[in-house]
């Protein structure tokens, strides 16, 4: 089943039994098999491959256990789910049973073997968490402990851990924040930044640049402190 307003590229393959939501972009040569469910507003890059069988064998292999497994879908099919707004980079591979959270981003060439939290940025083989991304797709910087800020759209997200699994949640998604007051759609630091001089926008770009190098020089830390506290990686 394919939803409304989807963009499907040349030579993409969608097998019977797959479910694709609305406004999905499916680039060239992507392969979506039976048992894969894709939510709304998802981006599937060129050559992305889903899988649906943990232990695949040829159905013609003359072994009774194989014939028994492939007699019904329940014997071999493992469902996979991609939540709304997620993005999958070119040529990444999604193994059976993986669950990719809302607005997560999978880097090109990654192999996803387990659950990906909402807003997570994962890369590598196997895919591992390397950062967090906002709904707008921008990488986020950590302000105070376990609180992440988007320099582009000024949204704030908080880390939530449960049984070793960490995910992000926007305070705006909850009716009340930790203080019992109604959550604001923008953090206080973003309001302060808007009221400051026009040079503040340049400071946000500095954050993204120096965080990509995984180091904050002393002068950059002093320059950025009025916006939100930044911790050096060598502390």
Domain containing 99 — which CATH number? 2.160.10.10
| Domains identified in the chain, total number | 2
Same-domain pairing of 19 and 119: yes
Comparing 61-65, 108-112, 211-215, the range with the smallest average pLDDT is 211-215
pLDDT, residue 211, reads 53
Same-domain pairing of 95 and 141: no
Hey, how many other C-beta atoms are within 10 angstroms of the C-beta on 81? 18
What's the pTM value of the predicted model, to 2 decimals? 0.68
Range of the domain at 14: 1-133
Tens of pLDDT, residues 98-133: 999 999 999 999 999 999 999 999 999 999 999 899
Separation of alpha carbons 145 and 186, rounded Å: 18
What does 101-132 look like in DSSP terms, one character per residue? Answer: -TT-EE-TT-EE-S-B-TTEEEETTTTEEEEE
Please, are residues 45 and 26 in contact by the beta-carbon 8 Å criterion? no
Same-domain pairing of 163 and 115: no
Q: Among 106, 133, 160, which residue terminates a domain?
A: 133
Same-domain pairing of 158 and 229: yes
Q: Among 79, 99, 133, which residue terminates a domain?
A: 133
Same-domain pairing of 200 and 89: no
Res 221 pLDDT > 80: no
Same-domain pairing of 40 and 68: yes
Q: Among 80, 101, 133, which residue terminates a domain?
A: 133
User: What angle is formed at CA 94 by the lines to CA 90 and CA 100, rounded to 5 degrees?
Assistant: 95
Comparing 8-17, 47-56, 57-66, the range with the smallest average pLDDT is 57-66
Please, are residues 193 and 227 in contact by the beta-carbon 8 Å criterion? yes
Average pLDDT rounded to a whole number, residues 131-141: 88
């Amino acid at each position: 089943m394919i939803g409304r307003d989807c963009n499907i590229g040349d030579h993409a393959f969608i097998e019977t039994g797959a479910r694709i939501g609305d406004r999905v972009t499916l680039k060239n040569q992507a392969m979506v098999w039976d048992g894969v469910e894709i939510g709304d507003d998802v981006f599937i890059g060129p050559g992305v491959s889903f899988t649906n069988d943990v232990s695949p064998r040829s159905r013609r292999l003359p072994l009774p256990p194989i014939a028994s497994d492939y007699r019904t879908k329940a014997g071999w099919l493992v469902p996979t789910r991609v939540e709304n707004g997620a993005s999958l980079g070119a040529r990444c591979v999604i193994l059976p049973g993986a669950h990719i959270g809302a607005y997560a981003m999978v880097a090109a060439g990654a192999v996803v073997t387990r659950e990906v939290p909402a807003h997570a940025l994962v890369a590598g083989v196997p895919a591992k968490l390397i950062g967090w991304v906002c709904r707008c797709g921008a990488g986020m910087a950590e302000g105070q402990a376990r609180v992440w800020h988007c320099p582009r759209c000024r949204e704030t997200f908080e880390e939530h851990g449960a049984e070793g699994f960490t995910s992000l949640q926007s305070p705006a998604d909850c009716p009340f924040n930790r203080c019992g007051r109604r959550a604001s759609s923008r953090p206080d630091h973003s309001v302060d930044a808007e009221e400051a001089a026009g040079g503040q926008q340049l400071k946000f770009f500095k954050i993204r640049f120096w965080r990509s190098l995984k180091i904050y020089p002393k002068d950059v830390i002093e320059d950025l402190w009025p916006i939100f506290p930044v911790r050096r990686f060598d502390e």
